[in-house]
Amino acid sequence: MICTIGYKHTKAKEMQMKVRGESMKFNKESFKSDFKKKIENMFGMELNDSSKLQKYVALGSLIKDYSTENWIKTNKTYKANGNKQVYYFSMEFLIGRLLKSNLINLGIEEQCADALKELNIDFNELEELEADAGLGNGGLGRLAACFLDSMASIGVPGHGCGIRYRYGLFEQKIVDGYQVEIPDNWLKEANVWETRKDNKSIIVKFNGNIVSEMKNGRLNFTHENYTAVKAVPYDTPVIGYKNNTVNNLRLWSAEMVETEEEFDFCGFSKGDYGRAQNYKSSIESISQILYPDDSHTEGKILRLKQQYFLVSAGLQSILRSYKASEKSIHDLDKYVSIHINDTHPSMAVAELMRILVDEDELTWEEAWRITTNTMSYTNHTILSEALEKWDINIFKELLPRVYSIIKEIDRRFKDEILQKHPNNWEKVNSMCIIHDGKVRMANLAIVGGHSVNGVAKLHTEILKNRELADFNRFYPNKFNNKTNGITHRRWLIQSNPKLTEAINEAIGKGWVKEPKQLVSLLKYAKNEDFKEKVYNIKKENKEVFSNHVAEKYGVKIDPNSIFDVQVKRLHAYKRQAMNLMNIVHLYNTLKENPNMDIVPRTFFFGAKASPSYYLAKETIKLINTVAYKINNDKSINDKIKIVFLENYRVSLAERIIPCADLSEQISTASKEASGTGNMKFMMNGAVTIATLDGANVEIRDAVGDDNIVTFGMTAEEVMNHEKYGGYCSRDYYNDDMRIKRIIDGIMGGQFGGYNNEFNNIYNSLINYNDEYFVLKDFDSYVKAQDKVNNLYKNRSKWMEMSITNIAHSGIFSSDNTIKEYANEIWNTKPINIK
């Protein structure tokens, strides 16, 4: 059942009246009657005859109705006041579910839950029917979703612009220990939140050729013989927290054009069904799937098509509404900010130039001034394999005009470099955009915008002083840091209601609007009653999750054990393998000494591996292989258990994070740009075991050395080894008997598995010299884990650490991050919607 709800519902207006304004006529009774009517109107039946799914669909669409008036009003206010609008361009928005967060933000969650209870409906059951919108791979996409929530909640006029992928990130099944990928058919049932806006469609043009001719002393460019794709927007309201603001998330879907005129360009008539069918599916493929991989992709052309599709549809639609306001095109940069989330949408620079020069007939210089003032870019990784470069031949053919614009940008930029550094071709080669037959997308974003930011202090320093040092010298004022954040509404209020209540009782509710006020909790960090309360809440959360684990995985775990959690994408630099090595080491030690005094521990892993990333998939198989053996070994008296959580996603994160005692943030220093899971865990009272990488450094600075367990090489040490060598992993294997025993055990079948099954892991650690320094950091990791074990034995001390972490987590609310973006990059102010 596909169900898209528009503005048309007859009763909608009446319902919106009830939740808006001072009088707030909304109450349990009015909600019950609205809900019943909604079911009747949508499905032609009474509440009692409706299925659970119908109830969920009706509830979602009713909530959406409740937000519609403010959605319209917000838009009108922005237009009337001429406020600067921010558009966050991103190939990924990892939203998860919206039902509960929308209810919380509208401030009607309790009444609705109570009303449903009175109608004998279990709200939690309905909640589970919502599919996660998994339109992202990991941190980058989730950050975009947290930013949308924060922009709306602090009243920044900011909107998302992305792609409405028909299939999100694959669903992961674990079969016999292996990852199996299943298409994520998230739109199968209903997306109650979106509104299709056919009348706002845009034509995006691919391929063809460019004809230039002189007209009135100006060179004009015409795109001919192109393939036209219709971009149809689907809008989703982004509801701010109790502030009447409703911003917009616009996701574009690719469809076949319908008009004869556009269709004719494609070179065949509508009667030619076979070819028309092929054409249709080739067009629709553009918004068919989210790439489960940020680089190494098959079908690179399709990925490039997706990027241009997003950028062109997004910009054309922004300019269409800007022009309707009758403001001068020369002032565009005063009223519009476009944020480029990672390099993926960096073609926005060239596309805006195309529109301004070719369509609005501005001079190149004026168009460039406007473009660079409008664009800003965030870098999310220093890993070179994830920095995009496109082959110029692919580019030229697919996007002839955009390519020629990039060439011109590059030509002028090279001139600029040479003016500053005469004859310095090394500088030119390091910074130019087109190099070695490739278009370097990061360079385009850096040159074409006024701001480049990293996502944590350390990451920004590495960008400025190492990876992008030439650029930083060339543009000394362009680089800045904006440490990532997370929305405390989803990651605490929504996912951990009991802890939220305990915090409210202790320090009041001021922190909800001003999350930094969480710091008042420090007063309670030594309060034994409060510690006990927080301890018991965590235990209750752990008990609920233990039951789920028993039911789903058939593994019995002890809620009193330490819940040690590593959930994130699977990647060698994140070092899930090091975590596993420590577990095997612990197991080996326990086998020798079953009475060893350790606190029982349950190790949780949750991770998806990119389908073409064999090492990562092998690591999943290894975790499951070791888990099977250890979980079934009676001789260690259940002291350690391992659970691999299938299909890690936003809604699962919301369940596991509130249960965690220990948060594993163990990436090789310098590789994790920021991490945001680290922030979610600390906000829920987990203590972090961390390398000094990404935002871990800032977490350490906030909580102090006594409230985090750090270990391992520093970023500086890692980068020096990378530059000067001096590390031989084989020596660590030969010299450290623990390491040898672990690796030989795994390779020799101690845990099962076929011959050579784990060869890739062995090779990466030993034969390829362990790029991510797993063996080098192993000893200090083991010691850090030992320290955790001892700290946990002292419950009072541990709870003091836990509460201190919660107290300092307010600085990592994305509300703070967004305020910094708004002030320092976008130059825009929050607006009150009355």
Sign of CA dihedral 780, 781, 786, 791: positive
224: left (phi over 0), alpha (psi -120 to 50) or beta: beta
Among 329, 383, 392, 469, binds ligand 26V (CB under 6 A): 383
Q: Is 721 a catalytic residue?
A: no
Interface residue with ligand 26V among 381, 496, 625, 670 (CB under 6 A) is 381
Which neighbouring-strand residues pair with 196? 234
**How far apart are the C-alpha atoms of 304 and 235, rounded to whole Å?**
23
What would the two tokens of residue 258 be? 């319908």
Distance CA 509, CA 493 (A): 11
Q: Which stretch binds ligand 26V (CB under 6 A): 134-142, 224-232, 266-274, 557-565?
A: 134-142
Interface residue with ligand 26V among 455, 690, 702, 811 (CB under 6 A) is 455
Tell which one of 207, 295, 714, 720 touches ligand 26V (CB under 6 A).
295
- Contact segment (CB under 6 A) with ligand 26V among 205-213, 293-301, 317-325, 536-544 equals 293-301
Beta bridge partners of residue 227, listed in sequence order: 206
Tell me the β-bridge partners of 688: 663
Interface with ligand 26V (CB under 6 A), residue total 22
Closest residue to ligand 26V using C-beta atoms: 139
Among 409, 549, 630, 673, binds ligand 26V (CB under 6 A): 673
Q: Least distance in Å: CB of 429 to ligand 26V?
A: 24
Q: How far apart are the first and last CA of the chain?
A: 37
Q: Applying CB under 6 A, does 345 fall inside the site for ligand 26V?
A: no
Measure Cα distances from 736 to 258, 603, 668, 732, 776 in Å: 68, 24, 20, 6, 10
Q: Which of 294, 358, 664, 777 binds ligand 26V (CB under 6 A)?
A: 294
Cβ within 8 Å of residue 322, ≥6 positions away: 329, 332, 335, 336
Nearer to ligand 26V, 227 or 610 (CB): 610
Report in angstroms how near the CB of residue 158 gets to ligand 26V at its nearest: 17
User: Is the alpha carbon torsion for 360, 362, 368, 373 positive or negative?
Assistant: negative
Q: Could you say which residues in the range 516-545 bind ligand 26V, by CB under 6 A?
A: none
- Given 574, 601, 671, 776, the catalytic residue: 574
Instruction: Rank residues 231 and 708 by Cβ distance to ligand 26V and give the closer one.
Output: 708
The pair of three-digit structure tokens given for residue 551, joined into one six-digit string: 């039911």
Beta bridge partners of 376: 339
Catalytic residue of the set 74, 343, 676, 828: 676
User: How far, in Å, CA of 126 to CA of 55, rounded?
Assistant: 7
Interacting residue with ligand 26V among 675, 685, 712, 753 (CB under 6 A):
675
For 244, the token pair is 């009447």
- Based on the residue annotation, tell me whether 450 is a catalytic residue of this protein: no
Select from 172, 201, 460, 610 the one that contacts ligand 26V (CB under 6 A).
610
Contacting residue, 60, 96, 134, 138, with ligand 26V by CB under 6 A? 138
Q: Where are the beta strands (DSSP E) in 369-451?
A: 375-378, 389-391, 434-435, 438-440
| Calpha distance 35→293 (Å, rounded) | 41
Catalytic residue among 389, 531, 533, 568: 568
Q: Is 139 in the site for ligand 26V (CB under 6 A)?
A: yes
The SS3 assignment for 601 reads strand
**Phi and psi, residue 342, nearest 5°:** 65, 180
Candidates 106-114, 288-296, 719-727, 824-832; binding stretch for ligand 26V (CB under 6 A): 288-296
Closest CB 690 distance from ligand 26V, rounded Å: 13
| Per CB under 6 A, 694 contacts ligand 26V | yes
Are 136 and 94 contacting, i.e. CB atoms less than 8 angstroms apart?
Answer: yes
Query: Is residue 275 among the annotated active site residues?
Result: no
Question: In the complex with ligand 26V, which residue's Cβ is closer, 484 or 684?
Answer: 484
Q: Would you count residue 181 as binding ligand 26V (CB under 6 A)?
A: no
Q: Should residue 672 be labelled a site residue for ligand 26V when binding is judged by CB under 6 A?
A: yes
| CA 325 to centroid of chain Cα atoms | 33
Tell me how far, at minimum, the Cβ of 702 lies from ligand 26V, in Å: 17
User: Can you read off the two tokens belonging to residue 103?
Assistant: 């209810």
Known active-site residue 539 = no
Determine contact, residues 108/62, Cβ cutoff 8 Å: no
Q: How many other C-beta atoms can be found within 10 angstroms of the C-beta atom of residue 110?
A: 11
User: Which structure tokens are listed for 109?
Assistant: 């969650």
Task: Name which position in 176, 365, 385, 551 contacts ligand 26V (CB under 6 A).
Answer: 385
Query: At its nearest, how many Å lie between ligand 26V and the CB of residue 300?
Result: 14
Minimum distance, C-beta of residue 691 to ligand 26V, in the bound complex (Å): 12
Is 695 in contact with 678 (CB distance < 8 Å)?
yes
What is the C-alpha separation between 19 and 71, in angstroms, rounded? 13
Q: What's the min distance (Å) between Cβ of 567 and ligand 26V?
A: 14
In angstroms, give the least distance from the CB of 140 to ligand 26V.
3
Instruction: Single out the residue of 119, 174, 302, 386 in contact with ligand 26V (rule: CB under 6 A).
Output: 386
Position among 342, 467, 664, 757 found at the interface with ligand 26V (CB under 6 A):
342
Q: H or E stretch including 473?
A: helix 469-474
Does residue number 676 form part of the binding site for ligand 26V (CB under 6 A)?
yes
Burial code of 779-796, b = ≥16 C-beta within 10 A, e = fewer?
A: eebbebbeebbebbeeee
For residue 256, count other CB atoms closer than 10 A to its CB: 18
Q: Is 496 in the site for ligand 26V (CB under 6 A)?
A: no
89 phi, psi to nearest 5 deg: -85, 120
What distance in Å separates the CA atoms of residue 383 and residue 472, rounded to the nearest whole number? 18
Binding segment (CB under 6 A) for ligand 26V, from list 70-78, 520-528, 669-677, 730-738: 669-677
Nearer to ligand 26V, 9 or 680 (CB): 680
> Is 617 a known active-site residue?
no
Q: Which of the ranges 176-184, 357-365, 379-387, 620-628 carries the binding residues for ligand 26V, by CB under 6 A?
A: 379-387
CB atoms within 10 A of CB 568: 24
> Which residues are bridge partners to 223 per DSSP?
210
Closest distance to ligand 26V from the beta carbon of 355 (Å):
28
Comparison of 385 and 551: residue with beta carbon closer to ligand 26V: 385
676 counts as catalytic: yes
Q: Cβ 451 to ligand 26V, closest distance in Å?
A: 15
Among residues 76, 96, 83, the alpha carbon closest in space to that of 151 is found at 83
Smallest separation, CB 623 to ligand 26V (Å): 19
Q: Which stretch binds ligand 26V (CB under 6 A): 138-146, 401-409, 553-561, 758-766?
A: 138-146
In b/e form, how buried is each residue of 415-434, taking b as 16+ CB within 10 angstroms?
A: eebeeebeeeeebbeebbbb
What's the min distance (Å) between Cβ of 455 and ligand 26V? 4
* Residue whose entry in the numeric block shows the structure tokens 């990672």: 342
Question: In this chain, which stretch among 136-144, 303-311, 358-366, 744-752 interacts with ligand 26V, using CB under 6 A?
Answer: 136-144
**Category of 637 on φ-ψ map: left (φ > 0), alpha (ψ -120 to 50) or beta:** left
* Interface with ligand 26V (CB under 6 A), residue from 94, 113, 131, 143: 143
Residue of 305, 569, 608, 649 marked catalytic: 569
Task: Kindly provide the b/e burial profile for residues 45-69, where b requires at least 16 CB atoms within 10 angstroms of the residue's own CB.
Answer: eebeebeeebbbbbbbbbbbbbbbb
Please give the Cα distance from 683 to 512 (Å, whole number): 13
Q: At its nearest, how many Å lie between ligand 26V and the CB of residue 700? A: 16
380 near ligand 26V (CB under 6 A):
yes
Q: Which of 674, 804, 816, 817 binds ligand 26V (CB under 6 A)?
A: 674
The yes or no reply on residue 5 touching ligand 26V (CB under 6 A) is no
The catalytic position among 303, 389, 680, 776 is: 680
Active site members: 380, 568-569, 574, 676, 680
In the complex, which residues of this chain contact ligand 26V (CB under 6 A)? 138-140, 143, 293-295, 342, 380-381, 383, 385-386, 455, 484, 610, 672-676, 694
